[in-house]
């Protein structure tokens, strides 16, 4: 096997095998078939890159086909957005097609199936059909209308087409096998009645084909050779082939369906229904909100097409589902932006810096490198003056030894400018610093070649000249959800995991070279991260979106929370052993504060579960998390595990465990009654006054 063959993913290998077995290369044809019922998201980007990538690799046409068979949910807005997204990602389709192009052909094939005894009109309610269809372990039974005559079926189907019947009164079903082990083969629906406006056909049709019927037949009309779907369609393949069997002509290409694992990304949701809910409930500001995982949202936030294609290439094409870390997507973005984004200076939390020995009337225009990663990017001129803005966090009046920024008596370099030394500060009535005064070394100008200019100092700060700075609106975006899998938790609404700090709007100041920046242009704000100009920008006000930080803040936060929880558990032992009550209360207060500060729901739940074991300190830790965390509720813990926690805790030799467990039970009305007998027994044998008081507070 050659090196190239080893690098092929399994879909490419299937195609290579087809060619080896005699399939003509000029008959290869692929398609990307979105349903226009929402905006495309990052998961669709993987499918786009796969299908159009195959077209490029094999020099084969790729159709963009809209599977528009449900007028209740589909709109022209979505069609236009999908086309824009595909083009922006860098791909061109061979033909723009629609399943609605084939409505007449699909109808005629359905009529032929009725004539051949392969389809019938069913007049049961949806509930009756669901019951009649059986279960995965129980075969279905024939419905009362399965034996209708061919003529009656033809007449009913024609009347359905004319619009004679209301929605839900009749459906057309394929007549296959009600006892099939594959429930999708138990006489699936082919057509339903919908008196709705279609974005292309208007009110010409009153019946619309189901996806499973239209999809494979549309592939056949277009002569698609390899129909590539995601893994949830594995069970649909048998039905896909059955429908093709009814119309297949040996002289034409027969499509074959193959399945790959879709993209699952943590800290987000991929369901169009849930994304639509976010839009409709105004949790986000539209489908292209920069917090959304939609391609349009990512584009508006500042993502590049190159970074998304690179991301899809890295994760590859697999047969097994897995969850990809959002950090990988951000890594691909940083890698691309690092090469192409010009470096500029911006201050987002400004404090005034006055260089006291710099002349009042002097103004210099200094050389600043545009991008050290790109030798051809050249230099720009930035203005320097006596009064500057620097970041508030870059100054401490009394700094520790490892603070490598500005403080009184210490030196730092101003980027592209001079070395300065902190001298004094001015404070307001509440003690907040409002101005910093510093002196500069006249001979230390960057690039001057003077000996002073090569002096090493602790750090380098970015800045903007106050009288030249442009005031801007800056939107600091963060992940929309605080949980890794917000829609995976039983009995919890995914909206409970919305990050309340996913958007912060602030006022910032940027260097004057950005006065003419256009929407979509991307920059690195030095030391702060990557930003792009938002579509809301006007000639009067520039709006910047934070695209991504220079470092992975979420990975750092995750590690910090894990370490904090681990260290907090160690404090439990100190708390239990502390004899002096006031000291014990201080330790407990710190433990509770740490628990409350942790946002990671999954981390908290997993820690509770992991500590349900016959160890008093572990049981106390689980109870304290359950008692004090605002992220976890009683119902979030599996009932048998929660019962085990209470039962073991009430038998614990450590009074603090019993106290915490009883407190939780008294707040957990669902489970309290289950432990009334155990609490009554405990009341008789208990010697700890706090435990007895807690039991007495709620009469058994």
Rounded-to-integer distance, Cα 471 and Cα 108, Å: 64
Q: Which long-range contacts (CB under 8 A, 24 or more apart) does 139-147 make?
A: 139/178, 139/179, 140/178, 140/179, 140/183, 140/186, 140/187, 141/178, 142/178, 143/187, 145/120, 145/121, 146/120, 146/122, 146/175, 146/178, 146/187
SS3 382: strand
Rounded-to-integer distance, Cα 594 and Cα 603, Å: 13
pLDDT digit string, tens, across residues 47-64 = 999 999 999 999 999 999
User: Residues 6 or more apart from 183 whose CB is under 8 A from it?
Assistant: 133, 134, 136, 140
Q: How confident is the model at residue 1 (pLDDT cuts 50, 70, 90)?
A: very low
Active site residue 272: yes
SS3 229: strand
Does residue 4 surpass a pLDDT of 50?
A: no
Q: How confident is the model at residue 117 (pLDDT cuts 50, 70, 90)?
A: very high
pLDDT of residue 108: 98
Find out whether 339 and 421 touch, Cβ atoms under 8 Å: no
Among the options 262, 352, 479, 651, which is catalytic? 262
Does residue 700 surpass a pLDDT of 50?
A: no
Active site residue 127: no
Q: Could you tell me the two tokens for 552?
A: 């992975």
Q: Average pLDDT of the chain? A: 93
pLDDT digit string, tens, across residues 340-365 = 999 999 999 999 999 999 999 999 99
Find out whether 690 and 655 touch, Cβ atoms under 8 Å: yes
User: Residues 6 or more apart from 242 whose CB is under 8 A from it?
Assistant: 174, 176, 185
Does residue 472 surpass a pLDDT of 60?
A: yes
Q: Could you tell me the two tokens for 618?
A: 């572990």
Q: Could you tell me the two tokens for 648?
A: 């073991």
Burial class (CB in 10 A: 0-12, 13-18, 19+), 46: buried
Q: Where in the chain is the domain with CATH 1.10.1160.10?
A: 272-339+474-551
Rounded to an integer, the average pLDDT of 221-225 is 98
Rounded-to-integer distance, Cα 548 and Cα 298, Å: 11
Among the options 237, 272, 334, 343, which is catalytic? 272
Find out whether 485 and 266 touch, Cβ atoms under 8 Å: yes
pLDDT digit string, tens, across residues 516-567 = 999 999 999 999 999 999 999 998 999 999 999 998 876 777 788 888 888 8
Q: Which CATH class is domain 272-339+474-551?
A: mainly alpha
Find out whether 32 and 82 touch, Cβ atoms under 8 Å: no
Q: How confident is the model at residue 249 (pLDDT cuts 50, 70, 90)?
A: very high
Q: How confident is the model at residue 2 (pLDDT cuts 50, 70, 90)?
A: very low
Rounded to an integer, the average pLDDT of 312-338 is 93
Q: Could you tell me the two tokens for 163?
A: 């619009």
Torsion angle (degrees, nearest 10) of CA 510, 516, 520, 522: -40
Find out whether 16 and 5 touch, Cβ atoms under 8 Å: yes
Find out whether 206 and 237 touch, Cβ atoms under 8 Å: no
pLDDT of residue 375: 85
SS3 26: helix
- Would you give the end-to-end CA distance of the chain in angstroms? 76
In order of 348, 360, 621, 650, 679, the CA distances from 662 in angstroms are: 49, 70, 14, 8, 9
Chain centroid offset of residue 268 CA: 3
Location of structure tokens 């800056």: 474
Q: Which CATH class is domain 102-211?
A: alpha beta
Rounded-to-integer distance, Cα 260 and Cα 221, Å: 23
Q: How confident is the model at residue 247 (pLDDT cuts 50, 70, 90)?
A: very high
Residues 617, 618, 622, CA angle at the centre, nearest 5°? 120
Rounded-to-integer distance, Cα 449 and Cα 447, Å: 6
Find out whether 464 and 581 touch, Cβ atoms under 8 Å: no
Please provide the DSSP assignment of 174-222 as one string.
Answer: E---TT-SSGGGSS-EEEEE----BTTTBTS-SEEE-HHHHHHHHHHHH
Find out whether 395 and 406 touch, Cβ atoms under 8 Å: yes
Q: Where in the chain is the domain with CATH 3.90.800.10?
A: 102-211
Strand-pairing partners, residue 384, are 364
Tell me the helix, strand and coil percentages in the chain, rounded to 5.
Answer: 40, 20, 40
Does residue 675 surpass a pLDDT of 90?
A: no
pLDDT of residue 699: 53
Q: Where in the chain is the domain with CATH 2.40.240.10?
A: 346-462
Does residue 698 surpass a pLDDT of 70?
A: no
For the domain bounded by 346-462, which CATH number is listed?
Answer: 2.40.240.10
pLDDT of residue 185: 98
Q: What is the DSSP-derived secondary structure letter of residue 342?
A: P
Find out whether 511 and 464 touch, Cβ atoms under 8 Å: yes
SS3 397: coil
Among the options 12, 29, 35, 405, which is catalytic? 35
Active site residue 273: no
pLDDT digit string, tens, across residues 631-649 = 888 888 888 999 999 999 8
pLDDT digit string, tens, across residues 589-628 = 999 999 998 888 888 988 999 999 989 999 999 999 999 9
- Of all residues in the chain, the percent with pLDDT exceeding 70 is 99
Rounded to an integer, the average pLDDT of 85-106 is 98
pLDDT of residue 403: 92
pLDDT digit string, tens, across residues 409-463 = 999 999 999 999 999 999 999 999 999 999 999 999 998 888 888 899 989 999 9
Q: How confident is the model at residue 3 (pLDDT cuts 50, 70, 90)?
A: very low
Find out whether 498 and 617 touch, Cβ atoms under 8 Å: no
């Amino acid at each position: 096997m050659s090196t190239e063959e080893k690098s092929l993913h399994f879909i490419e290998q299937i195609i290579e095998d087809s060619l080896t077995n005699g399939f003509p290369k000029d008959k290869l044809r692929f398609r990307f078939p979105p349903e226009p019922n929402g905006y495309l998201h990052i998961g669709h980007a993987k499918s786009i890159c796969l299908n159009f990538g195959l077209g490029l690799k094999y020099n084969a046409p790729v159709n963009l086909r809209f599977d528009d068979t449900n007028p209740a949910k589909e709109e022209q807005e979505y069609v236009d957005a999908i086309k824009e997204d595909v083009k922006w990602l860098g791909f061109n389709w061979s033909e723009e097609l629609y399943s609605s192009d084939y409505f007449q052909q699909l109808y005629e094939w359905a009529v032929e199936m009725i004539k051949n005894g392969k389809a019938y009109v069913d007049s049961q309610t949806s509930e009756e059909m669901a019951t009649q269809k059986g279960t995965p372990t129980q075969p279905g039974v024939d419905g009362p209308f399965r034996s209708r005559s061919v003529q009656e079926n033809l007449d009913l189907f024609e009347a359905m087409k004319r619009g004679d019947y209301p929605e839900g009164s009749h459906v057309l079903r394929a007549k296959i096998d009600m006892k099939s082990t594959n429930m999708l083969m138990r006489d699936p629906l082919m057509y339903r009645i919908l008196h709705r406006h279609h974005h292309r056909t208007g009110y010409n049709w009153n019946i619309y084909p189901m996806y499973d019927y239209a999809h494979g037949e549309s592939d056949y009309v277009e002569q698609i050779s390899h129909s590539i779907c995601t893994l949830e369609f594995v069970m649909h393949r048998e039905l896909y082939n059955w429908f093709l069997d009814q119309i297949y002509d040996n002289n034409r290409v027969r499509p074959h369906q193959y399945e790959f694992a879709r993209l699952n990304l943590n800290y987000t949701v991929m369901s169009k229904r849930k994304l639509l809910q976010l839009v409709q409930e105004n949790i986000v500001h539209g489908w292209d909100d920069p917090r959304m995982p939609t391609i349009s949202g990512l584009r508006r936030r500042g993502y590049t097409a190159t970074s998304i294609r690179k991301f899809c290439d890295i994760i590859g094409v697999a047969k097994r589902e897995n969850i990809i870390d959002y950090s990988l997507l951000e890594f691909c973005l940083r890698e691309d932006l690092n090469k192409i984004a010009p470096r500029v200076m911006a201050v987002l939390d400004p404090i005034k810096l006055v260089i006291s020995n710099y002349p009042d009337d002097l103004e210099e225009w200094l050389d600043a490198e545009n991008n050290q990663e790109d030798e051809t990017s050249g230099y720009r001129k930035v203005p320097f003056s006596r009064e500057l803005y620097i970041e508030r966090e870059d100054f401490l009046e009394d700094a520790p030894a490892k603070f490598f920024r500005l403080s009184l008596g210490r030196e730092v370099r101003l980027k592209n400018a001079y070395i300065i030394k902190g001298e004094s500060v001015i404070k307001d009535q509440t003690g907040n610093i409002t101005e910093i005064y510093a002196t500069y070394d006249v001979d230390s100008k960057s690039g001057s070649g003077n000996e002073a200019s090569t002096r090493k100092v602790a750090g380098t700060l970015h800045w903007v000249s106050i009288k030249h700075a442009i005031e801007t609106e800056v939107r600091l975006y963060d992940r929309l959800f605080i949980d890794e899998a917000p829609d995976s938790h039983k009995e919890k609404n995914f909206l409970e995991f919305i990050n309340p700090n996913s958007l912060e709007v602030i006022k910032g100041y940027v260097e004057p070279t950005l006065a003419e920046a256009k929407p979509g242009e991307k920059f690195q704000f030095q030391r702060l991260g990557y930003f792009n100009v938002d579509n809301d920008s006007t000639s009067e006000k520039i709006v910047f979106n934070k695209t991504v930080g220079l470092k992975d803040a979420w990975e750092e936060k995750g590690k910090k929370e894990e370490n904090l929880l681990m260290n907090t558990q160690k404090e439990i032992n100190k708390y239990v052993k502390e004899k002096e009550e006031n000291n014990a209360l201080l330790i407990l207060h710190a433990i509770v504060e740490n628990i409350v500060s942790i946002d990671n729901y999954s981390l908290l739940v997993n820690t509770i579960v992991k500590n349900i074991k016959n160890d008093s300190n572990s049981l106390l830790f689980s109870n304290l998390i359950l008692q004090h965390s605002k992220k976890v509720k009683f119902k979030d813990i599996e009932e048998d595990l929660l019962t085990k926690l209470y039962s073991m805790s009430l038998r614990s030799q450590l009074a603090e465990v019993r106290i915490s467990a009883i407190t939780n039970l008294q707040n957990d009305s669902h489970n309290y009654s289950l432990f009334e007998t155990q609490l009554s027994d405990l009341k008789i044998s208990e010697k700890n006054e706090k435990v007895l008081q807690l039991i007495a507070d709620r009469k058994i």
